[in-house]
Amino acid sequence: MSAPKYWREIPQRYRFEAARCKKCSKVLFPPRLICPACKSREFEKTRINEKGTVETFTIIRIAPTGFTDEAPYPVGIVDVGDGVRVLCQIADCDPENLKIGMKVRLEFRKIQQEGHAGVINYGYKCVPE
Amino acid sequence: MRDVAVIGVGMNKWGELWEAAIRDLLAESVLLALDDAGIDSVEAMYIGCMSSGLFTHQEHLGSIGPDYSGICPIPGMRVESACASGGAAFRAAYIHVASGMADIVMAAGVEKMTDVDGGGATFALATAADQEYEVYNGVTFPGLYAMMANHHMHKYGTTRDQLSQVAVKNHLNGSKNPLAQFRMKVTPDQVKNSVMVADPLTLLDCSPITDGSAAVILCSMDKAKELTRKRLVKIIGSGHASDTIQLAQREDISSLKSTNMAAKQALEMAGRKISDINFAEVHDCFTIAEIMVIEALGIAPQGKGGKATADGITAIDGKFPVNASGGLKSKGHPVGATGVAQIAEIVKQVRGEADEGRQVKKADIGLAQNMGGSGASSVVHILEGM
């Protein structure tokens, strides 16, 4: 992954930065240039909540390149409130205990590594509360 | 807008076609369609293709299409909307003829997927999802549809067996389609017990990786009446809609709004209700996709798509046959070709030319639904025999 491609997403992946629409208060993650709800183009910086609820999940058993060593691993869509949902891996959780509606918390984690000596890519995963 | 008919269709035998490069793969169906229409050229060509660059390192199909079909110097153009590229190419060709810019235009579709290994194909397909907020976190396409399936099962009580019934039905239809990639019949137990890909979806819940192409020729109605003695098949409705690229940002994870919107547009244009349509070809890239699509189209009520399938409503002899061709599941899914092949199938059915054992009894009006990504774009067309 090129440095700029990784670097420009750091505010979201490391710090959960989002944009709150100044007109209708909708929270956009990642930020956008225009609010899809009210078409306003003015935002203030905010952060998404770190606590949320698993709305759906799966267990990836046939993994894409870069993730094969980790398979099987669970992935879910987490509702963190304010109308924001994020897709992320669910870590530190026995697959048998996964269920829709479970309470989780977003944490800063290693996502993947480019080969044995490559750059480590970070981001967020969720863990059971 | 003037009336437009489809006067020629072609589709090659789909599968792992090691001997065919993308140029010949595409030309094969183009030539079949020209022969079917009884003409030797067209005025322009649209080519649906999702990712020839990643799959074969070959872009610029706008030249390769006309060149290897022997019809240079007509203009060619590639159309891309992920797995809905074929449907989008057909719509572009339709607008081209309906506008009066040209009388005869081809919509072709192609994908050559086996020049890369499984990992390479997975990577190319994943570019249809959000790179930074979905793919980055290790999700795959089966994973995205698996999350829709889990949501649907939790919300509506859709069952493992109902998912399997989609595969069973489509493989039964595909077993009678000599052009299909996987012609074996499958049982519910085989589907359930095949390798788990992303819970709850198994290998037999997923459409395969396929090399293939398809082509159809669109013609203004006036000219079509001069050119063909076959049953004229008129395009009576066209709809196209988008939704958020990220599954997580949809209003509802287990319904397909873009398909619903595209279908509403197409039905309104046709002046018909879904109950007026006789049969459909839909985008069953995964078994859960067909269940959600028939709900979005209104063939089954929201949440009842699984039950409708298990009840046989969508079987070839059911009230509303769906995927008489075998669908993406059995026929194969060369992504850019799929939407065009759906149109070719509708035309064959309306003409009464489908293979023995899979001709829909009453096939006067057919609907084709083609979908990109996890439902982030959808194209719907309705065609009627004159």
Q: Which position among B240, B283, B333, B381 bears the catalytic label?
A: B333
How many domains does the structure of chain A reveal?
A: 2
Is B336 found in the same domain as B193?
A: yes
Chain A positions in Cβ-Cβ contact with residue B251 (cut-off 8 Å)? none
Q: Flag if B246 and A87 touch (Cβ within 8 Å).
A: yes
Reported as half-sphere exposure (CB side, CA atoms, 13 A), residue A71 has a value of 19
CATH of the domain at A72: 2.40.50
Check whether residue B145 and residue B110 sit in a common domain.
no
Q: Are A30 and A42 within one domain?
A: yes
Q: Does A91 touch chain B (CB under 8 A)?
A: no
Q: Which CATH number does the domain housing residue B202 bear? A: 3.40.47.10
Q: Are residues A71 and A108 in the same domain?
A: yes
Q: Are residues A67 and A125 in the same domain?
A: yes
- The predicted structure's pLDDT at residue B377: 98
Same domain, A123 and A86: yes
The pLDDT, as a whole number, for residue B191 is: 98
DSSP per residue, B343-354? HHHHHHHHHT-S
**Chain-wide mean pLDDT for chain B?**
97
Whole-angstrom distance, CA of residue A28 vs CA of residue A9: 14
B333 flagged as catalytic = yes
CB-based contact B248 A70, cutoff 8 Å: no
Judge contact between B270 and B262, C-beta under 8 A.
Answer: no
From chain A, pick out residues whose CB is under 8 angstroms from the CB of B134: 87
**Domain check: are A42 and A53 in the same one?**
no
Q: How many domains does chain B have?
A: 2
Last residue of a domain, one of B199, B233, B267: B233
The verdict on A113 touching B (C-beta cutoff 8 Å) is no
Q: Let me know whether B229 and B310 are in one domain.
A: no
Tell me if the bond preceding B200 is cis, omega within 30° of 0.
yes
Query: What is the nearest CA distance from B99 to chain A, expressed in angstroms?
Result: 32
Q: Is A121 on the interface with B (CB under 8 A)?
A: yes
Domain enclosing residue A89, as ranges: 49-129
Of B139, B148, B151, the CB nearest to A75: B139
| CB of A40 less than 8 A from some CB of B | no
Same domain, yes or no: A57 and A81: yes
> Which residue stretches of B202-317 are H helix?
221-227, 257-270, 287-297, 305-310
Q: Would you say residue B129 lies in a domain?
A: no
Does B103 lie in the same domain as B150? no
Smallest CA-to-CA distance from B375 within B260, B285, B258 is with: B258
B70-120 pLDDT per residue, tens = 999 999 999 999 999 999 999 999 999 999 999 999 999 999 999 999 889
Residue B5 near residue B221 (C-beta atoms within 8 A): yes
**Length reported for chain B:** 386
In this prediction, residue B119 carries a pLDDT of 86
Domain assignment of residue B227, given as a range: 4-117+210-233
Note if the bond before A30 is cis, omega within 30 degrees: yes
A9, A60, A100 ranked by CB distance to B154: nearest: A100
Distance separating alpha carbons of residues B28 and B220, to the nearest angstrom? 24
A89 and A120 assigned to the same domain: yes
> Exposure pattern of B360-380 as b/e (b: 16+ CB <10 Å)?
beebbbbbbbbbbbbbbbbbb
**Shortest CA gap B336–chain A (Å):** 22
Residues A57 and A115 in one domain: yes
B130 lies in some domain: no
Using the 3D structure, point to which of B181, B198, B233 is the last residue of a domain. Answer: B233
Q: Is B134 within 8 Å of A87 when comparing Cβ atoms?
A: yes
Residues B360 and B270 in one domain: yes
- The tokens describing B99, both together, are 């506008």
At residue A119, the pLDDT reads 86
Are A116 and A71 members of one domain?
A: yes
Weakly modelled stretches of chain A, pLDDT under 50: none
Residues B172 and B316 in one domain: yes
A95 shares a domain with A83: yes
How close B57 gets to chain A, by Cα (Å)?
19
B264-292 residue pLDDT tens: 999 999 999 999 999 999 999 999 999 99
Q: What percent of chain B has pLDDT over 90?
A: 99
Question: Do B190 and B215 reside in the same domain of the chain?
Answer: no
B83 is catalytic: yes
Task: Scan residues 198-237 of B and list those with Cβ closer than 8 Å to A.
Answer: 198-201
Q: Do the interacting molecules here have an ipTM over 0.95?
A: yes
* pLDDT of B169: 98
Residues in chain A: 129
Q: Which residue in chain A has the smallest CA separation from B144?
A: A58
Question: Span B55-84, mean pLDDT?
Answer: 98
Contact, B61 vs B76, CB < 8 A? yes
Asked whether the beta carbons of A123 and A13 are under 8 A apart, the reply is yes
- Domain check: are A21 and A67 in the same one? no
Say if residue B268 is in the same domain as residue B297: yes
Residue B200 shares a structural domain with residue B109: no
